[in-house]
Amino acid sequence: MTNTFTRFIRRRRQSLNKTQAEIARACGLTGISITLVESGHRRLGLERVPRLAAALDVDAAELCRLALATQLPMLAAALTGGAVVAAPETR
At residue 58, φ and ψ (nearest 5 deg) are -130, 165
Give residue 72's pLDDT band: very low, low, confident or very high (50, 70, 90).
confident
Q: pLDDT at position 2, please?
A: 80
- Residue extents of the structural domains in the chain: 4-80
What are the residues facing 90 on neighbouring strands?
A: 58
Query: Could you report the per-residue pLDDT of 3-36, keeping only the tens digit for each?
Result: 899 999 999 999 999 999 999 999 999 989 999 9
Query: Would the pLDDT of 81 be above 70?
Result: yes
Exposure string over 58-78, b if 16+ CB within 10 A, otherwise e: beeeebbbbbbbbbeeeebee
CATH topology for the 4-80 domain: 434 Repressor (Amino-terminal Domain) (1.10.260)
Q: pLDDT at position 85, please?
A: 62
Give residue 86's pLDDT band: very low, low, confident or very high (50, 70, 90).
low
Residues contacting residue 66 through CB under 8 Å, at least 6 positions apart: 4, 5, 8, 85, 86, 87, 88
Query: Would the pLDDT of 91 be above 70?
Result: no
